[in-house]
Amino acid sequence: RPIDGVALSVRGVEKRFGGVAALAGVSLEVAPGTSHAIVGPNGSGKTTLLNMISGFYPVDAGAIAVGGRSVIGLAPHRIAHRGVGRTFQTPRMMPDLTVLDNILLGAFMAETQGALAATLRLPAARREQAQSLAEAMRYLDFVGLRERAMEPAGELPHGQQRLAEIARALVGRPRLLLLDEPAAGLSLDELDRLGELISAIRGLGTTVVIVEHHLELVANICSSVTVLERGAVLASGTPAEVFSNEAVISAYMGA
């Protein structure tokens, strides 16, 4: 049973891909309004776990609840409607559309319907979301991209595309925001901005779960961490506890 007052509860989640046990009974809990990091070597199951939470693949076993309600068996767009936003390891902006149009389209359309369907729906989406324009601009401002709103998204440097994706995920005002390696490929300036941005997002009351290799960023902005290794939880706790754990240090060094 999900515990009251927990933004995200993952219990005994298992997922196999053919012969590979990507997740072999993973559990974690995230308190509302906090930032939680999922770290671990490549192939340890981090992205698979995000995919389970956002409904991209069905779980083989286990329970997942957002805000105390099970999301097991729901399609990705239903989970998005429950207030779960996400970004991807590889930015999924539509390169020929402006940054603003990408934001207006919203995260879940690109995720669930593909680029073509989303593009065909653009005029309708524009009308429906006309009132969202101010909000979209506000979030672009929030991530420092107001000036680039009218440029084709594909012309933005990689780091700015990542920040734009976060703005897109914020437009739905998610209760829970899942970020998959947001720091990858960012400049030092952008990294600072990302740290501030995630703190500000938490300030809006959004719970943040972040898959991240940049451990300094994790230590700076996250109050709790789960370390995965080969689909299982190797350690969990505060960044200080986890990063001084012998098993964690050897998992990273010995890989």
In the complex, the residues that contact ligand ADP under the rule CB under 6 A are 17, 20, 22, 40, 42-48
Closest CB 212 distance from ligand ADP, rounded Å: 11
Q: How far is the CB of 251 from ligand ADP (least distance, A)?
A: 12
Q: How far is the CB of 90 from ligand ADP (least distance, A)?
A: 12
CB of 17 to ligand ADP, least distance (A): 3
Q: For ligand ADP, give the closer residue by CB, 63 or 232.
A: 232
Q: Which is nearer to ligand ADP, 146 or 213 (CB)?
A: 213
CB of 178 to ligand ADP, least distance (A): 12
Smallest gap from residue 56 Cβ to ligand ADP (A)? 9
Beta strands in the chain (DSSP E): 8-17, 20-30, 35-39, 61-66, 69-70, 84-86, 176-180, 207-211, 224-229, 232-237
Q: What is the DSSP letter of 89?
A: S
Minimum CB distance to ligand ADP smaller for 45 or for 85: 45
Contact 10, 27 (CB under 8 A): yes
List phi, psi (to 5°) of 130.
Answer: -55, -40
Closest distance of CB 75 from ligand ADP, Å? 17
Distance, in Å, from the CA atom of 228 to the CA atom of 23, rounded to the nearest integer, reads: 9
- Tell me the CA distances in angstroms from 176 to 95, 189, 197, one per residue in order: 26, 26, 15
18 in Cβ contact with 10 (< 8 Å): no
42 versus 131: smaller Cβ distance to ligand ADP: 42
Q: Which is nearer to ligand ADP, 102 or 226 (CB)?
A: 226
Cβ atoms of 201 and 221 within 8 Å: the answer is no
127 class by beta-carbon count within 10 Å (0-12 exposed, 13-18 middle, 19+ buried):
exposed
Which CB sits closer to ligand ADP, 48 or 224? 48
Give the residue with the Cβ less far from ligand ADP, 40 or 182.
40
**CA distances in angstroms from 220 to 35, 59, 186, 195, listed in the order given:** 10, 32, 16, 8
